[in-house]
Each structure stands twice: as C-alpha cells, then as structure tokens.
Chain A
Amino acid sequence: AQSVAQPEDQVNVAEGNPLTVKCTYSVSGNPYLFWYVQYPNRGLQFLLKYITGDNLVKGSYGFEAEFNKSQTSFHLKKPSALVSDSALYFCAVRDPSGGGNKLTFGTGTQLKVEL
C-alpha cells in the first residue's frame, strides 16, 4: 500500500528566507510524486511532479523539489519565501506498479510566511 508522511503540521518562515516542506513516501514500486497547494476555500492547485529523470524538479511560483530515492523523500523547497506563499501544502504519491491512477495524499503542512 502506498503512503505519504508530512511530519510537520506547520512551518513558519520569514519572508526572503529559504523554505523547506518535508515529505516522505512509501510505495512498492517506483513512485510518481506530486506537490499541490491549497489556499483557503479553494481547490488543490498543482505545483510540480516527479515521474522520472532529473531528481530536481522545478515547478510553479519558483518552487522546486528534490527526489531522493535512498531516503524516500520528496521535499519541497523555495530559495526565497513570499508572504503570498502562505497556504496548505500537500504531498501526494501514485504507485504505477499498482496499475491505478489514484493519488494518496499526506496530511498537509501549513506554511506561514511572515514579514
């Protein structure tokens, strides 16, 4: 069974500082990994994905994530945080070896960027 862990319920960062939101996963095969962001009263917006290839993937709004197979991690990063980045961030995994398309989400990490 596939699963995702986001160990931090909340991350606080000062504007202009780098941010990291952590994610680890468990799948039986090679994972497809995703980050989504949710603003209040809005749906989930896709940020970036890792399917295969380069371990560092770049996405929307200056975010990037690094796939680390040995540590089964896919941490989200941004070199310089903005107040407007404050939102709820979800990591998700799909296990293609299972044959289905379903995404399994983590519990979410609330990012708060302060001036």
Chain B
Amino acid sequence: EPEVTQTPSHQVTQMGQEVILRCVPISNHLYFYWYRQILGQKVEFLVSFYNNEISEKSEIFDDQFSVERPDGSNFTLKIRSTKLEDSAMYFCASSGYSGGVHSYNEQFFGPGTRLTVL
C-alpha cells in the first residue's frame, strides 16, 4: 500500500539554524500539506501546495517558513532560522483528486519528523 514517507524521523538543531524537513508524498497525489503538532497539543495546519505553488497558508507559516517541490517527488519544508517554539512534530500529508463536485479525497499523513530546537 502506498504511503507518505518523511525524513529524518528526528532532527535536533540549534536555535537560529536552518532546517529542511523532507517528505515523499504518494506518487499520484496532487495536493501536499504540512502540519505540526506541538507536544501535548492539537495538530495545526501550516500550508497546502498545489500545482507548484502555495494554495493556502496559516498565520503560523510566516517568512521563516518555505516549501518546495524540487524534483517532482520530494516535498520539503524549510525553516530559515529556527526558534525554540518551532520544536514540534511536523507531519507531511498528501491527497489526490478523483473528479466531481464532491470528490474530495482524504489526506494521508506521513509518520512525522520530530524537530527539537535547543
């Protein structure tokens, strides 16, 4: 069964450093997402990406964050200068589209990358 994969599973970085979190979405999916879950809190939407551009982003997704689909298979989240409060589990997700007014396909999530900022 196809699945979303994410690397690394755990990333430790120093405050102020840049990090890149990597995801390989399910191959025939067209929509890509990043969410994050701070320890003990709910899952929060960061950004969605379709047709090589951001389609929606949350207030959390400020200028320190960027996303890219560099090669047609990977989908990356970059945090330019990490802060302590960026420590969280970051989930990548992808979804397809099967046509029709009510054809909305569920999002499939990867296992997450735990980011620890020291």
Number of interface residues of A (CB under 8 A): 24
Complex interface: stretch among A21-29, A68-76, A77-85, A101-109: A101-109
Does B109 contact A101, Cβ atoms closer than 8 Å?
A: no
Does B42 contact A90, Cβ atoms closer than 8 Å?
A: yes
B residues less than 8 Å from A94 (CB atoms): 104
Number of interface residues of B (CB under 8 A): 26
CB distance from B52 to the nearest CB of A (A): 16
Does B56 contact A101, Cβ atoms closer than 8 Å?
A: yes
B residues less than 8 Å from A101 (CB atoms): 31, 33, 48, 50, 55-56, 95, 104, 107
A43-B111, A100-B56, A101-B48 in contact; A52/B102 too (CB < 8 A)?
yes
CB distance from A55 to the nearest CB of B (A): 15
Q: Is A14 an interface residue (CB 8 A)?
A: no
* Among A34, A42, A105, contact of B106 (Cβ-Cβ < 8 Å): A34
Interface flags for A82-115 (1: CB within 8 Å of B; 0: not) read 0000000010101010001111111110000000
CB distance from A27 to the nearest CB of B (A): 14
Give the A-binding residues of B (Cβ under 8 A): 4, 31, 33, 35, 41-45, 48, 50, 55-56, 58, 91, 93, 95, 102, 104, 106-112
